[in-house]
Each structure stands twice: as structure tokens, then as C-alpha cells.
Structure 1
């Protein structure tokens, strides 16, 4: 066994294959997953495994540049919104509001992987845009750092709380 590592072989392999800008979609139990999607089903019972548990695990495993979700989360499910803020504070990720329809119709078909939870948590569908370690790139003195990396580094150093 691998201590403090993902034990699910398909999930571990899929995350290792993700690159910059790939989309990891984490959904609730009822999300309509496209039939041809690379689907990893972690839901085994209503409410188990919860989407927040999956997001907390992913936060430890991958760099995320952006977290997209239905803007209604902020107004219609403030506790979920607060939980997402807590998970991604200091990560450098930004929040992007979208619609449930956009998640279903446009983002899901583009996702490198769709991870289904057993969550019955309303509005609990999140598109994570994979990134890279902003401190590992552009380290040589004669290379100009891209503004996006400067900004992500700042958000991480300042332990910024993401907000819609």
C-alpha cells in the first residue's frame, strides 16, 4: 500500500496523466455524465463519498488554476460556497461562475475525467482546471516570468481566499 497516496488505481493514473488546462469535473450523484466520458465513480451510497471529501483529496494531489461552478452556489447554498472557499484558500486558484447548463452541455464533454461522488449536496458540481506548480516554472534568471504565474504566486503567498 501507498501511505498518504490515492489507492484507487484508475483515479491515480488519470490524475498523473493530466496536464495544464485539462478539466477534472467532480459531480454530485445525479449529474448527467456523457456516455463516452472517462468516468470514475466514487459514489457507493447516497451521501457517500461526499463531493467535499473528493475536492479535499484533489486539493492535496493536483495544482488547480480555476474552479468553475454554478454561480447559484454562492446565493443558494452559502455553506457549500464557504466550504469550497476553505478548501481552495491559499491554492492560487480563482473561482469562475458559470451555469449548470454550461457544466452539462459544454464542460462535461471536454473533461479529461468526470469523478462522480455519492453527494446529494445541491449545486455540488465543480470543474477544476488543472495547472502546474507556479513556483517550479520560470526559475532561471534569464527567462521572463509570465504574468499569470506572477499573479498565482501572489495569491498563494498571500493565502488569498477565492471569491466569485
Structure 2
């Protein structure tokens, strides 16, 4: 059995197959997922699992160099943004990597997420609780 934090085999497989600059999206329960994009559906009920729980577990496994968030999150979900910023600070402290952060309009976010290796759907119902993680390299 795997010893790490992340136990989900589908997410682990996607992360293991990612190369430099490939992306993985973690989304709320309402983020549209195109038919051609791999869907990893974790949603059980409203709020379960939460976006932050899933992001935290993924950050324990994935080396990231950049993240993209919806611009609308700043005004529509500032609490969620604060949670993400806290996790990113913790990530930098643990790993020494400081990913760059970009904010884009939600309509552009949805288009960009379609190119991800996979989109992980959480049970989150807070607005704009979505992130695209772009993989870095560990060397």
C-alpha cells in the first residue's frame, strides 16, 4: 500500500505521468468538464470532499511551478483565495519551490482547464473554487 498522503489511484497515476508544464485541474462541483478531458470525480455530496482537502493532498505529491486561478475568485470567494494562499505558503516552506500565480477571467480558465491531463471534481460548492496546477521539475 502507498505510504504517501494521496491514496487515490487515478490522481496518483495522472501525477506520475505528468511532465514539465503539464497541468492538472482541481475544480468545484460545478466546473464544466469537456468530454475529451479525463474526469476524476470525487464529489460525494455538497462540500465532500472539500476543494482545500483535495488540493492539500495533491500538493503533497506534485511539483508545481505555476498556478492559474479565476480572476473572479478575488471578489466572489476571498475566503477560498486566502485558504489557497495559505496552502501555497506552506507548499513553499515544505518544498522550497514558489510557484507563480496568475489570475485569468473564468471563461478563459474553463478553456485552459480543458487542456489538463485531468480535471478532479470535488464536492466544493464555494464559487470559483478551481485551480490549474502546472507541473515543474524536481531537478
**What TM-score, normalized to structure 2?**
0.89
Q: How many residues in Structure 1 have an aligned counterpart in Structure 2?
A: 133
Q: Does residue 109 of structure 2 align to residue 107 of structure 1?
A: no
Deviation (angstroms), 1:5: 4.0
- Equivalence for 1:118: 123
Tell me the secondary structure at the aligned position of residue 109 of structure 2. Answer: helix
Q: Does residue 67 of structure 2 align to residue 62 of structure 1?
A: no
TM-superposition CA deviations, 1:29-87 (whole Å, max 9, x none): 01110011111111111110111111111111111111101112223322111111111
- Report if the CA contact (8 A) 2:5-2:60 is conserved: no
- Equivalence for 2:36: 36
Q: Does residue 98 of structure 2 align to residue 98 of structure 1?
A: no
Gaps of 5+ in 2: none
Tell me the secondary structure at the aligned position of residue 123 of structure 2. Answer: coil
Q: CA RMSD of the aligned region, Å?
A: 1.3
Task: Flag the structure with more relative contact order, 1 or 2, with Cα contacts below 8 A and sequence separation at least 6.
Answer: 2
Larger radius of gyration: 1
- Equivalence for 1:128: 133
**Off by >4 Å, runs of 4+ in structure 1:** none
